[in-house]
Copies of this chain bind each other. A is one copy, B any other.
Amino acid sequence: MAAHTLLDTFLSKLRMRDDVSDAEARALFDCASDDAEYPAGADLVREGDRPHVSMLLLDGFTTRYRDSPDGSRQITAIHVPGDFVDLHSLLIKEMDHSVGALSRCRVLHFPHPRLVALTEAHPHLARLLWLMTLIDSSIHREWLVAASRPAPEQVAHLVCELFTRLNVTGIVREHKFHLPVTQTELGEALGLSAVHVNRTLQQLRAEGLFTWQAQEIHILDWDGLRRRASFDERYLHLVKEPR
Give the contacts of A142-187 with B (CB-CB under 8 A): 142-145, 147-148
Is the beta-carbon distance between B145 and A66 smaller than 8 angstroms? yes
If A96-B237, A144-B144 touch, whether A91 touches B137 (CB-CB below 8 Å) is no
Among A8-16, A126-134, A216-224, the stretch that binds chain B is A126-134
Among A23-31, A68-76, A202-210, the stretch that binds chain B is A68-76
Contact partner of A141 (CB less than 8 A), chosen from B94, B97, B142, B235, is: B97
If A92-B138, A123-B126 touch, whether A76 touches B144 (CB-CB below 8 Å) is yes
**How many chain-A residues does the 8 Å CB contact rule pick out?**
45
CB closest residue in chain B, given A67: B145
CB closest residue in chain B, given A136: B137
Q: Which residues of B lie under 8 Å from residue A148 when comparing CB positions?
A: 72, 74, 147, 191
If A119-B123, A140-B137, A141-B97 touch, whether A147 touches B191 (CB-CB below 8 Å) is yes
Considering the chains assembled together, what is the distance between the CA atoms of A239 and B96 in angstroms? 13
Is A93's beta carbon under 8 Å from chain B?
yes
If A144-B76, A144-B144, A147-B191 touch, whether A120 touches B119 (CB-CB below 8 Å) is no
Q: Which residues of B lie under 8 Å from residue A237 when comparing CB positions?
A: 92-94, 96
Could you tell me the distance in whole angstroms from the C-beta of A52 to the nearest C-beta in chain B?
13
Give the contacts of A62-98 with B (CB-CB under 8 A): 64, 66, 68-69, 72, 74, 76-77, 88, 91-94, 96-97
CB closest residue in chain B, given A149: B68
Contact partner of A243 (CB less than 8 A), chosen from B69, B91, B96, is: B91
Q: Which 7 A-B pairs have the closest CB atoms?
A: A148-B191, A140-B140, A137-B137, A76-B141, A91-B131, A96-B235, A74-B145
Residues of chain A at the chain B interface (Cβ within 8 Å): 64, 66, 68-69, 72, 74, 76-77, 88, 91-94, 96-97, 116, 119-120, 123, 126-127, 130-131, 133-138, 140-145, 147-148, 191, 230, 234-235, 237, 239, 241, 243
